[in-house]
Each structure stands twice: as C-alpha cells, then as structure tokens.
Amino acid sequence: SIALVWFRRDLRLFDHAALYHALKEYDQVIPVFVFDPTILTILPRADRRVEFIHASLRALKDELQQAKSDLVIRHANPVTAILELVAEFRASAVYTNRDYEPDAIKRDTEVTAALREQGIALRTFKDQVIFEQDEIVTQANTQLAAQPFPSLQELNFEPAGLADLPVQAGTTGSEALFENFKERIDRYHLNRDFPAVKGPSYLSVHLRFGTLSIRELAAYAWREGSQGAQTWLSELIWREFYQQILWHRPDVVHHAFKQDYDALAFSNDEALFTAWCQGQTGYPMVDAAMRQLNQTGYMHNRLRMITASFLVKDLLVDWRWGERYFAKQLIDFDLASNNGGWQWAASTGCDAQPYFRIFNPVTQSTKFDSDGKFIRRYCPELSALQGKAIHAPWLANQTTLAAAGVTLGVDYPWPIVDHACQRDKALALFKHRGRTP
Ligand code: FAD
C-alpha cells in the first residue's frame, strides 16, 4: 500500500510527524511538494523566500535520493495536483502536517473534500513526534525513478541574491546556525537586545520553513537550563503564543485583537510611510533598521519593535501598512508572529504594549547601539559622526557635522517628524479611539 507525504512548511526528514506515521503505516511513501501558483503569482519575480524554499527543496530531494527515494514536485493548484498524484501513484492516503494559517486551512479543507470523493483520507498531524534520523530511510522504491527538479526560471522566478546573504538554506544551514548558537546560548539574555552584537540565533527563517524541528530546539533549551537558555525558550513560546492567537482569532489578520482599537483614525501620510520604508526618516536607528530589512530580508527583534512603534506612534500610520511591508521584505515572514509583533507594538494586540508606552527612538538608539556601530554599518553617510551625534544628528552643532562631512538635508535627511510632538498626537489618538475628541 502507498501513501503520499505532502511537505509544506516542514522541509526536513527528521522528527517529522506525518512522515513518521506514513512510514509506520504504509509499505511505500511518496514524498511530494506542490508549488501553488496562487501564492507565487502575487510575489515579486525575485523573492528571497522562494529562493530559500527552492534551495531547501534541493537539499531535501538530495537527502531523499541518498535514501533511495525522491521528492516529487508539482507546480499546480494543490487540489488538482494532489488528486493527480494520488491517481498517478495509486496512493490510498495522503499524510501531511497541519498548517494553521487561514488560507492554508481553506486549502486543506478543499483538498480533504476532493480526496473524500475518491474515498481517500487526508491525514493531518500536529508535528510533535520525535523521529530518529536512521528510521527515515524508505524501502527501495521502484516507482520513484529520477523525478525532475524545476529550476527557479521554470517556476517563473529569478534569483534574488540569496547566495550573497549569510543565509544557508536547508537542514545543513539550520544545523550550522544552531551549532554556532549553542556556543552563545548561555549569554542570550545579555546580548539579545543589541543589534550590533551576535546575540540571537538567526534561526527564524528555518523555523518558518521547518528546516529544523521546534521540538529539538525546545528540548535543547530545556535541558541546557541556563538563564540564557531559559530566556530563549520563552521567545520560542512567544512564537507558539502568536500561533495560538491566529488559530483562535483568525480575524486578527484584518482587525485589531482589541476590538475597540480597530477604528483608530491614523493619518496614513503616504510620504511619511515611503520615507520609513526606504530608511530615510532622519532617525538613524530607524533608518539603519529599515535598511537592514531591505538589504538582507532580516531585522533584529529590538529593531522590529522600534521601527514598528515609530511607524504607528510617531508617523501615525496604520500598523497594517507596516505589517504588509514587513510581510513583503522578511525572509522569515510568518503570518502569526508578524501580525502578533505588529499588534503588540501598536498596542492593539493581546497582551500588547500599553498604548501610553511610546519608544523614544533616540533613547532606544543610545541604549541599544550606544557606540553607533550598527547605525554606521547601514548608514555609512553618518559613519564619521562622533559621540552622541550619531543618534540624533540634528542636535549636533555645525562644527561636529562639518567635521564628519555631513550636511543635513543633503547627505542625510532632517527628521521627518518631531518625536515629542507626534507622541502627544499618538496619545490623544489612542485615548479617544472610536470617539471624537
Ligand atoms: P531569536 O531571538 O534567536 O529567537 C528564537 C526564535 O524564537 C525566533 O526564531 C522566533 O521563532 C521566536 N521568537 C523570538 N521572538 C519572538 C517574538 N517576539 N514573537 C514571536 N516569535 C518570536 N518573527 C518571525 O519569525 N516572523 C515574522 O514575520 C516576525 N515579524 C515580527 C514583526 C514585529 C513588528 C515584531 C516586533 C517581531 C516580529 N517577529 C517575527 C519576532 C522576532 O522579531 C523574530 O522572530 C526574531 O527577530 C528572529 O530572529 P532570531 O531567529 O535570531 O530570534
């Protein structure tokens, strides 16, 4: 008997619940992946995430081939593709790990209904069973001779420069990062807030695409037990928390979790929003952060909080605009965590930052990038500024600016808003939410 195992956001072979159960219950297992054109067509033609998935699939396919199996890839509507694959391989079941995003749930409901008409079950799993690596080797599979692997071009995408970034796809990439982080995990609580320091794990993209096992990470942190490891474990729990929120309150995709915050009258000034996207706000910490995002597809967590707060509470732009921009740019974009992070920063979310807590972008900069090392990396036009001027160039005197070769308005923008003034406006906006002041 034959079962398909449908890989989605779990691009690995170890500790993989659906694969484990399928191998246990069926004589033969056909691993499949479907590129969904509905998702792909709306993306830019050069997209780092597609390139990451593509490279991770290459690695997965190689690993399967070494185990005398293969990965079957289709580029088609998932309902049609799965039905065709079932017919092609005469499979009597489809195994897959559950995906909790609303669109994915809708897709799986459709696939379930279509399969049911053929008398076939879609068996879904909470992906939580520890699986020993040497158990994954399949029986020599005569039906899986040399399956094709589509190039990015055949998928109608171009390379997005992933190779130039410090991001290595697949389980090889995640293992190398995790090994490196193990040496630093005990200092995580001390280092994690400073963007110029190698403090966090940088594992988010691997968690997003399942090129590592969340159980392996959680078990390691639990066993390790140091203060750093415990703090890190609590971050993994934030990820779980936001997944739970999305599952129980799918309306958060479009609306504030706290319903009375849904109709905040944001000014939504397009020019301010564009300056924020481009890292041209005149606030060096915010600009360095946005440029890190644009150039690398990653942004440090402290900076995600600072830039999100700045967009909502200094520029008075709807958090959903920022959420959408992050969703386009982040390699580790995850609907649940991104939405949760934005609603936290905008004070509209569950257990969010209270609205009257407003980050001062200069204080945050002085505290978390005190010598301006991170700012200098991404705002080279300011790199010669000395002392406090790197955090707030508009407060520096002419001599300091001239000595550093900086002319405000020419080399680097004047601040596009005044923080103190915007802070008052934000407080009034939130206080009188839904009511005329
Ligand atoms: P580490 O510090 O090493 O943390 C380990 C893992 O824990 C992360 O990979 C992540 O899976 C989880 N984690 C850590 N912090 C959080 C958090 N606050 N919320 C949820 N999970 C967390 N994370 C995403 O994975 N995708 C997103 O799209 C995303 N968007 C965000 C948007 C905003 C506005 C904010 C404030 C945060 C967002 N985060 C998002 C959470 C967090 O910033 C990133 O997970 C983290 O920076 C990734 O880097 P790391 O893997 O080195 O993290």
The shares of helix, strand and coil residues in the chain, as percent rounded to the nearest 5, are 55, 5, 40
The predicted pLDDT at position 435 comes to 60
Q: Verify whether ligand 1 is closer than 6 Å to residue 329 (CB atom).
A: no
| Residue 178 sits in the same domain as residue 278 | no
Q: What percent of the chain has pLDDT over 90?
A: 85
* Residues 6 and 71 sit within 8 Å (Cβ to Cβ): no
271 and 383 part of one domain: yes
Q: What is the pLDDT of residues 261-277, one digit of tens each?
A: 998 999 999 999 999 99
- Ligand 1 centre to CA of 29 (Å) is 34
Residue 177 structural domain: 171-248
Do residue 38 and residue 125 come from a single domain? Answer: yes
For ligand 1, mutation pick of 189, 191, 204, 234 (most atoms within 8 Å of CB) = 204
The answer on 220 and 279 residing in a single domain is no
Q: pLDDT confidence of 313, banded at 50, 70, 90?
A: very high
Query: Cβ(206) to ligand 1 under 6 A?
Result: no
Question: What integer is the mean pLDDT of 64-81?
Answer: 95
One domain for residues 271 and 365: yes
Residue whose CA lies nearest to ligand 1 atom number 30 = 338
In this structure, which residue's CA is closest to atom 52 in ligand 1? 202
The DSSP H or E segment spanning 32 is strand 28-35
For the cut 50, the answer to whether the pLDDT of residue 136 exceeds it is no
- pLDDT tens, position by position, 399-436: 999 999 999 999 999 999 999 999 999 999 999 886 64
Per the structure, the count of domains in the chain is 3
Same structural domain, 239 and 273: no
Tell whether ligand 1 has an atom less than 6 A from the beta carbon of residue 192.
yes
Ligand 1 contact, 212 CB (< 6 A) = no
Q: Is 211 in the pocket of ligand 1 (CB under 6 A)?
A: no
Separation between Cα atoms, residue 156 and residue 302, nearest integer Å: 36
In a domain, 162, yes or no: no
Give the CATH number, domain containing residue 47.
3.40.50.620
Average pLDDT over residues 204-228: 95
At 323, list the tokens.
Answer: 């959420």
Structural domain includes residue 190: yes
Instruction: Please choose from 205, 206, 239, 298 the residue to mutate so as to test ligand 1's pocket, defined by most ligand atoms within 8 A of CB.
Output: 239
Q: Do residue 272 and residue 402 come from a single domain?
A: yes
pLDDT over 70 percentage in the chain: 95
- Return the pLDDT at 139: 52
Does the Cβ of 342 fall within 6 Å of ligand 1? yes
- Model confidence at 191, pLDDT cuts 50, 70, 90, reads very high
Question: How sure is the predictor about 351, in pLDDT bands with cuts at 50, 70 and 90?
Answer: confident
Q: What is the reported pLDDT for 89?
A: 95
**Distances in Å between the alpha carbon of 2 and those of 31, 90, 121, 126, 147?**
11, 7, 13, 21, 17
Cβ neighbours of 166 (radius 10 Å): 9
Per-residue model confidence (pLDDT) at position 161: 83
pLDDT tens for 223-233 read: 999 999 999 99
Decide if pLDDT at 148 tops 90.
no
What pLDDT is attached to residue 138?
52
* Residue finishing a domain among 225, 248, 271: 248
Q: Phi and psi (nearest 5°) for 28?
A: -130, 145
CA angle 238, 219, 123 (to 5 degrees): 80
**CA quadruple 36, 80, 112, 21: dihedral positive or negative?**
negative
CATH number, domain at 425? 1.10.579.10
Instruction: Give the residue among 142, 151, 189, 165 at the shortest CA–CA distance from 73.
Output: 151
